[in-house]
């Protein structure tokens, strides 16, 4: 990455040269930071879809080719060959761990998996039907009171900060689920790996011990890798926005959780499951819903198709589909929602309406069905997204802080009234 060449812009007869910033993947940008100072104008980009807010070396996405790389590694290679712990380390440090480094990081995850006993009282204050995402966001913010000392991002001990968040969020998520079920909390165990521990905390019972299926733990591990990072999306931008104000990491992560909750972002996997359930309740008439999706006057939206970045098949969706095939065939699982999903995909991919618009399945289309097969309830699907995305948020926050980036302060184009004369209330 570097600056070379210039782009010329003429505004009201004045010509200025703006530096072109070259990227390592060819997705170059124009530095407009001097635009207002030299011309008096600012840019307008609704949704910031053509605006780079920062320079990053974490994630590469090629939406046209359907490529996703994390720290230079293809997502396919990471899913097929790594554990979630390895990929979390990769994101935070920039390189895959050695065996000794992974052992040390895993030890930190184990050591910091418990939450302060006083935090348990918070769970009793939430209503039983409270959404787990609301509980998770509040509890993560509260971590700053119990663990106020954040390690320096340049120090090796930042591993402890990263491990503390990655481990404790998993524990909080499981506790949130137990609270919603009115069940006793299950503490993490030192003898279980990351995903096996989570499944055990979710489903173990003193009257019905939970058998941890190694394949279930493996599938969950791969699912979390699929979610680890995806560039400058809504929730990652929220994390960096809050971080730019020098708020603590916990506050920034909480903001990311709240952003991810939205149905147009992380909440989409829950929306897909609910859509498939509605289709199943309506006699499974897939063609009817394909027609509704094509009707501009119909409010129905086909969830799990299309992506703001990908104009090809989302590579994460392909991998999720592989995991579906492996889990459902190995354990002989039958789920009518999967049958409907496969019919829906086949119908959409053979329809010119979807082909012309390059609307392919995205990450959310099959992941909800996978989590459902693992026993994860619908209202926990976005929470699972949080657990997977957490290493990416931490890495993005760390990179942003290390680069001493400026506080986010977008401008606006004001279109309101001109100066008004004030009128006293009795004369209005």
Q: pLDDT by residue (tens digit) across 24-42?
A: 887 899 999 999 999 999 9
Which two tokens mark 59?
């994630």
> Has 364 been annotated as catalytic?
yes
Q: Confidence band (pLDDT; 50, 70, 90) for 136?
A: very high
Which two tokens mark 275?
């859509």
Domains of the chain: 2-62 (2.20.28.60), 72-413 (1.10.580.10)
How many Å apart are CA 410 and CA 425, to the nearest integer? 35
Chain center to CA of 22: 27
Which two tokens mark 16?
């200025």
Please determine, for residue 3, whether its predicted confidence score (pLDDT) is greater than 60: no
**Catalytic pick among 60, 93, 227, 307:** 307
Residue 216 makes CB contacts below 8 A (sequence gap 6+) with 199, 327, 374
Please determine, for residue 239, whether its predicted confidence score (pLDDT) is greater than 50: yes
Please determine, for residue 98, whether its predicted confidence score (pLDDT) is greater than 50: yes
Taking only the tens place, the pLDDT of each residue in 310-362 is 888 899 999 999 999 999 999 999 999 999 999 999 999 999 999 999 898 99
Rounded percentage of the chain residues whose pLDDT exceeds 70:
97
pTM of the model as a whole: 0.92
**Catalytic pick among 204, 229, 314, 364:** 364
Distances (CA, A) of 121 to 116, 157, 167: 10, 30, 20
The rounded mean pLDDT for the chain is 92
Q: What average pLDDT does the segment 69-94 reach?
A: 97
The contacts found for 80-89 with CB under 8 angstroms, 24 or more apart, are: 82/225, 83/193, 83/194, 83/221, 84/194, 84/195, 84/221, 84/222, 84/224, 84/225, 84/228, 84/388, 85/109, 85/193, 85/194, 87/225, 87/228, 87/391, 88/162, 88/166, 88/228, 88/390, 88/391
Which two tokens mark 400?
């942003």
Q: What average pLDDT does the segment 71-83 reach?
A: 97
Q: What is the pLDDT of residue 64?
A: 87
The angle that helices 363-373 and 336-349 make with each other, rounded to 10 degrees, is: 170
How many Å apart are CA 102 and CA 425, to the nearest integer? 69
> Has 60 been annotated as catalytic?
no
How many Å apart are CA 251 and CA 157, to the nearest integer? 20
């Amino acid at each position: 990455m570097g600056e070379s060449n210039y782009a010329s812009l003429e505004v009201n007869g004045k010509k200025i040269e703006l530096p072109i910033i070259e990227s390592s993947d060819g997705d170059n940008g124009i530095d407009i930071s001097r635009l207002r100072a030299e011309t008096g104008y600012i840019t307008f980009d609704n949704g910031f879809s053509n605006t780079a807010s920062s320079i990053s070396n974490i994630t590469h996405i090629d939406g046209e080719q359907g490529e996703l790389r994390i720290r230079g590694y293809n997502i396919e290679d990471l899913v097929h060959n790594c554990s979630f712990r390895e990929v979390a380390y990769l994101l935070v440090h920039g390189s895959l761990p050695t065996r000794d480094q992974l052992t040390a990081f895993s030890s930190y995850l184990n050591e910091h998996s418990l939450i302060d006993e006083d935090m348990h009282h918070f769970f009793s204050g939430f209503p039983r039907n409270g959404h787990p995402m609301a509980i998770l966001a509040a509890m993560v913010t509260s971590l700053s009171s119990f663990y106020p000392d954040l390690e320096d991002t340049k120090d090796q001990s930042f591993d402890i900060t990263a491990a503390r968040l990655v481990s404790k969020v998993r524990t909080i998520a499981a506790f949130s689920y137990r609270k919603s079920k009115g069940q006793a909390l299950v503490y993490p165990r030192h003898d279980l790996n990351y995903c096996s521990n989570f499944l055990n905390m979710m489903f173990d019972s003193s009257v019905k011990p939970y058998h941890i299926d190694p394949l279930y733990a493996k599938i969950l591990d791969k699912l979390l890798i699929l979610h680890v990072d995806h560039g400058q999306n809504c929730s990652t931008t929220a994390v960096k926005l809050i971080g730019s104000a020098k708020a603590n990491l916990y506050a920034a992560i909480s903001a990311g959780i709240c952003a991810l909750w939205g149905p147009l972002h992380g909440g989409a996997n829950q929306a897909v499951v609910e859509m498939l359930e509605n289709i199943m309740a309506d006699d499974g008439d897939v063609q009817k819903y394909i027609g509704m999706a094509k009707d501009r006057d119909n409010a129905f939206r086909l969830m799990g198709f299309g992506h703001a970045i990908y104009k090809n098949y989302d590579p994460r969706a392909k991998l999720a589909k592989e995991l579906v095939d492996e889990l459902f065939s190995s354990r002989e699982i039958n789920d009518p929602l999967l049958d409907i999903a496969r019919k829906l995909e086949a119908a959409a991919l053979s329809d010119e309406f979807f082909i012309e618009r390059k609307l392919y399945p995205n990450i959310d289309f099959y992941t909800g069905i996978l989590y459902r097969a693992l026993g994860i309830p619908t209202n926990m699907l976005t929470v699972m997204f949080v657990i997977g995305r957490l290493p990416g948020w931490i890495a993005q926050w760390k990179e942003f802080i290390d680069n001493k980036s400026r506080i986010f302060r977008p401008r606006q184009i004001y279109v309101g009234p001109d100066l008004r004369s004030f009128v006293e209330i009795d004369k209005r």
